[in-house]
Structure 1
Amino acid sequence: MNAATRRIAVGAVATALIAGLAGCSGSDGRGATRKGDSGSNKGAPGPNMGAAGPQSAVRLIGDGSTAFTGIQPGLLKPERLKPGQPPPQFVVFSWDGAGEDSLKLFSHFRKVARKYGATMTYFLSGVYLLPEEKASLYDPPQHSPGRSDIGFNDIQGITDTVRELRGAWQEGNEVGTHFNGHFCGEDGGVGNWSVPEWKSEISQAKSFVKNWKTNADLRTEPPLPFDYEKELIGARTPCLEGRPNFVRAASELGFRYDTSGINDQVWPKKELGLWDLSLQMVPVPGRAFETLAMDYNFMVNQSGTSKGDSSQYEYWGNQMRDGLVQAFDRAYQGNRAPLIIGNHFESWNGGTYMRAIEETIATVCVKRDVKCVSFRQLADWLDVQDPQVLEKMRTLRVGEAPKGGWATFLAAQPANAAVSPAVNQAEQG
């Protein structure tokens, strides 16, 4: 996508400097600095991921922008925990507004994921598949048609983004949505949108994915290898705003999870039938507070700008990496709650946060009992667990290891043990 059309959403900087709780934006278009290319499992398709089953013939959908190609390869097989079995340590790396631009970070992190046996979630902004000259096709809630705070795309950007989406899905990654125009703040921002307005935004996000060939006049390009009506099961709202009404809309539309809120590192529960897989508070080494596990929030708390003091770049990147690793360690050695991390394809402060994420992936995804997976795969695993077991794991606080060890904590219960009505109610959302 044209880097010039994408801006940093800084309306909440003053608040975020204090609390570090808002964050979402696009790339500033500069090249990123990256290092940390060592590790094992090179070329692995993902954790415990077997070969894909027989694939059906390609069946085009609509104008051929998408297609049914059979069961997605590279997926984790969800299995219910056995009595006394410790849960895996899940880690989810996710990307807001995913698209391939001049930074080429989408393609880069696909390579990183393959190298360390990980899969991820890419939250696509629908307008990244809509060319500038067709901007009027987008009719955003509370704004005039053709308005977008992150711009639109050009034909090359659309071609490159679709190529990466295609490859990412075939490698077992998930394609979610970051919606379209990325409106934050009080003036028409998503925080003020009604349930019907959210449904309109979701419908348009789907439409831009399902009709990119027609809209961009790229009819000879290969299709995206999935049915987006079935692929799209979760999202993260712009700037983490508007979550209450979005969750209501998503619940009515059959979504399976949301990751737009703010949580501690504890086991997730359902809300209105959706798994609440929100971003989490993590340590900021050397500081007396925690912030969200996202590049934007570390940047705001460190420099307050994407172009801070260059002498601090290495320190800031190390601080983010170390904070994420500390968050991982306290879960891995403690309650084993999934660690949820969000990012953007950006080059803020010299690309130091991209280095931090890459080094975090290299550090945690190769450890025993660790599964670096997409939100879809985490939701699949949660769905097959015994609700009573999940309820018991939710009693563990941040970093709290079960007393007596997992074998005792999750020992088999008597066959005639009654199911608590509160448990049933919690699982039904």
Structure 2
Amino acid sequence: MSGISRRGVARLGLGAGIGVVAASSAACGSVQGLFGAQGPGAEAPRLIGDGSTSYTGRQPNQPDPPTPLEPGQTPPQFVVFSWDGAGEVGTGLFQRFLELARAHDARMTFFLSGLYLLPEGKKRLYRPPNNPVGASDIGYLTDRHLKKTLTYVRQAWLDGHEIGTHFNGHFCEGPGSVADWTAAQWRSEIEQARSFVKSWRTHTGWHDEPPLPFDYDRELIGGRTPCLLGQENLLPVAREMGWRYDASSPGGLQRWPRKREGIWDLPLQNIPFPGHSFEVLSMDYNMLANQSAHSTRAPSYNYPYWRAQAAQSYMAGFQRAYETNRAPLFIGNHFEEWNGGIYMDAVEEALRQIAGWPDVRLVSFRQFVDWLDAQDPGILAQLRALQVGEKPEGGWNSFLRPTKQAKDTAGTA
């Protein structure tokens, strides 16, 4: 496919196994105190299984229910910021972006790695397909960081963010790579990821810690595979499990999405890369790969230019969609301080700028597919017909009208 970064797809989700730094663990408070943020009328927590998770009613801090576009209405500009791994490793980045989202009324998707809720002392409970028992290419969190991760995952859900999955051991290379996993092996990996989230109390022995405030079987409707590999064999399993989307496709174009095998296919996208004739994947690691040849500690004199280049790349992708086909923009990140933390600064700068534009909706993947499923199929077919950077002929008022394509309910490729 043309336009893909010349250095290829990023090694995604190297994530929280790198650069672990000690950090103090904040107290979580009582169950009632934690869940009080839901407001009047919220259901009392109902513990599930060993009490690691709980059902607390409808998720708080959600947008109004989606409504269909009116004929001739300009579509909103959706932007989804997502995080691979979503573990806190003492850098404060999880908290930083929760606070940033709160300040700009933004929602995000956190793709939690199941192993980040499994203590290293219990690593032999993990049986990764085609790899030794307990193996992991991203390691395991310290107990202190596992507790902090629990704290921020709780808060993320209460703030209205989505908790998806980044699976477990993050195997991208060699004979055990996820690229070669069968459907049965993906099913095993998913079931293990779910069990680690749903049984962290049993595995840690921390029965006094508050539960996660959601039923993970209901919450989990999508994920992103390590290094964007293995989607073909994953999709049939995702469909069987009732998932609604997958965010594992590499090198997608900035166009309106369609379904594959009944699942919304929401890829990372090729976006303009200032100073280059090729485009870059909308993900921090892919920018790093093109700027510093995969080095996470390149000479610091490069940092100011690279930071600005990354932020400008996100904004160029945003502006191209905003001013033309209004295709959603999907941005992927990691809680990492690669090259002095410049990619965290770049994505923060991009979010701050994007939040100030009219008609922008900063949403999670779950909220976005809720909106897609509420639309007239014929309208979605018209949106999908627009190419990258293509403006609707005659403007939105004349272009976006119901058509006889309403039978295109799935938008299947």
Give TM-score scaled by structure 1 length: 0.88
Confirm whether residue 178 of structure 1 aligns to residue 141 of structure 2.
no
Q: 1:338 to 1:194 in 2, by over 3 A?
A: same
Q: CA deviation at 1:30?
A: 7.5
Distance in 2 (CA, whole Å) between partners of 1:241 and 1:90 is 25
Confirm whether residue 298 of structure 1 aligns to residue 282 of structure 2.
no
Give TM-score scaled by structure 2 length: 0.91
The residue type paired with residue 242 of structure 1 is: G
Q: 1:106 to 1:19 in 2, by over 3 A?
A: same
Q: CA deviation at 1:54?
A: 2.9
SS at match of 2:218: helix
Distance in 2 (CA, whole Å) between partners of 1:396 and 1:419 is 15
> Where does residue 52 of structure 2 map in the other structure?
65
Distance in 2 (CA, whole Å) between partners of 1:23 and 1:95 is 14
Distance in 2 (CA, whole Å) between partners of 1:116 and 1:75 is 14
> Where does residue 309 of structure 1 map in the other structure?
299
The residue type paired with residue 55 of structure 1 is: A
User: Residues 325 and 364 of structure 1 are in contact (CA less than 8 Å); yes or no, is this contact kept in structure 2?
Assistant: yes
> Where does residue 341 of structure 1 map in the other structure?
331
Distance in 1 (CA, whole Å) between partners of 2:386 and 2:55 is 42
Confirm whether residue 285 of structure 1 aligns to residue 274 of structure 2.
yes
Distance in 1 (CA, whole Å) between partners of 2:221 and 2:191 is 13
SS at match of 1:411: coil
1:357-380 deviations in whole A, cap 9, x for unaligned? 000000002211000000000010
> Where does residue 233 of structure 1 map in the other structure?
221
SS at match of 2:304: helix
User: Residues 88 and 149 of structure 2 are in contact (CA less than 8 Å); yes or no, is this contact kept in structure 1?
Assistant: yes
> Where does residue 373 of structure 1 map in the other structure?
363
Gaps of 5+ in 1: 1-15, 32-50
Match of 2:256 among 267, 271, 278: 267
Q: What are the equivalent positions in structure 2 for 1:339-418 lying under 5 Å apart?
A: 339-413=329-403, 418=404
The residue type paired with residue 180 of structure 1 is: N
Distance in 2 (CA, whole Å) between partners of 1:154 and 1:330 is 42
Distance in 2 (CA, whole Å) between partners of 1:78 and 1:201 is 33
1:37-95 deviations in whole A, cap 9, x for unaligned? xxxxxxxxxxxxxx877311110000000000010011122111111111100000000
Distance in 2 (CA, whole Å) between partners of 1:427 and 1:401 is 21
SS at match of 1:363: helix
User: Residues 275 and 379 of structure 1 are in contact (CA less than 8 Å); yes or no, is this contact kept in structure 2?
Assistant: yes
> Where does residue 48 of structure 1 map in the other structure?
none
User: Residues 381 and 405 of structure 2 are in contact (CA less than 8 Å); yes or no, is this contact kept in structure 1?
Assistant: no
Confirm whether residue 206 of structure 1 aligns to residue 194 of structure 2.
yes
The residue type paired with residue 267 of structure 2 is: S
> Where does residue 7 of structure 1 map in the other structure?
none
Distance in 2 (CA, whole Å) between partners of 1:53 and 1:389 is 38
Q: CA deviation at 1:221?
A: 0.7
Match of 2:107 among 108, 114, 119: 119
> Where does residue 276 of structure 1 map in the other structure?
265
Gaps of 5+ in 2: 22-37
Q: What are the equivalent positions in structure 2 for 1:2-41 lying under 5 Å apart?
A: 18-24=6-12, 25-27=14-16, 28-29=18-19
The residue type paired with residue 216 of structure 2 is: Y
Confirm whether residue 169 of structure 1 aligns to residue 153 of structure 2.
no
Q: CA deviation at 1:401?
A: 1.3
Q: 1:244 to 1:397 in 2, by over 3 A?
A: same
Q: How many residues align?
A: 389
Q: 1:400 to 1:386 in 2, by over 3 A?
A: same
> Where does residue 319 of structure 2 map in the other structure?
329
Give me the identity figure in percent: 51
Distance in 2 (CA, whole Å) between partners of 1:419 and 1:325 is 33
Distance in 2 (CA, whole Å) between partners of 1:52 and 1:195 is 42
Distance in 1 (CA, whole Å) between partners of 2:84 and 2:332 is 7
Distance in 1 (CA, whole Å) between partners of 2:109 and 2:179 is 23
User: Residues 265 and 281 of structure 1 are in contact (CA less than 8 Å); yes or no, is this contact kept in structure 2?
Assistant: yes
Confirm whether residue 222 of structure 1 aligns to residue 210 of structure 2.
yes
The residue type paired with residue 51 of structure 2 is: G
Q: CA deviation at 1:255?
A: 0.6
Distance in 2 (CA, whole Å) between partners of 1:325 and 1:75 is 26
1:377-418 deviations in whole A, cap 9, x for unaligned? 0010000001110000111111111111111111355xxxx4
User: Residues 53 and 71 of structure 1 are in contact (CA less than 8 Å); yes or no, is this contact kept in structure 2?
Assistant: no
> Where does residue 244 of structure 1 map in the other structure?
232
> Where does residue 42 of structure 2 map in the other structure?
55
Q: 1:30 to 1:285 in 2, by over 3 A?
A: farther
Distance in 1 (CA, whole Å) between partners of 2:378 and 2:54 is 39
User: Residues 5 and 281 of structure 2 are in contact (CA less than 8 Å); yes or no, is this contact kept in structure 1?
Assistant: no
Distance in 2 (CA, whole Å) between partners of 1:151 and 1:141 is 16
The residue type paired with residue 184 of structure 2 is: P
Confirm whether residue 148 of structure 1 aligns to residue 148 of structure 2.
no
Match of 2:119 among 131, 134, 152: 131
Distance in 2 (CA, whole Å) between partners of 1:109 and 1:118 is 10
Distance in 1 (CA, whole Å) between partners of 2:39 and 2:86 is 25
Distance in 2 (CA, whole Å) between partners of 1:408 and 1:420 is 18
Q: CA deviation at 1:419?
A: 4.2
Distance in 2 (CA, whole Å) between partners of 1:144 and 1:69 is 38
> Where does residue 309 of structure 2 map in the other structure?
319
Distance in 2 (CA, whole Å) between partners of 1:150 and 1:398 is 35
Q: CA deviation at 1:18?
A: 3.2
1:179-236 deviations in whole A, cap 9, x for unaligned? 0000012320100100000000000000000000110111001100000001000000
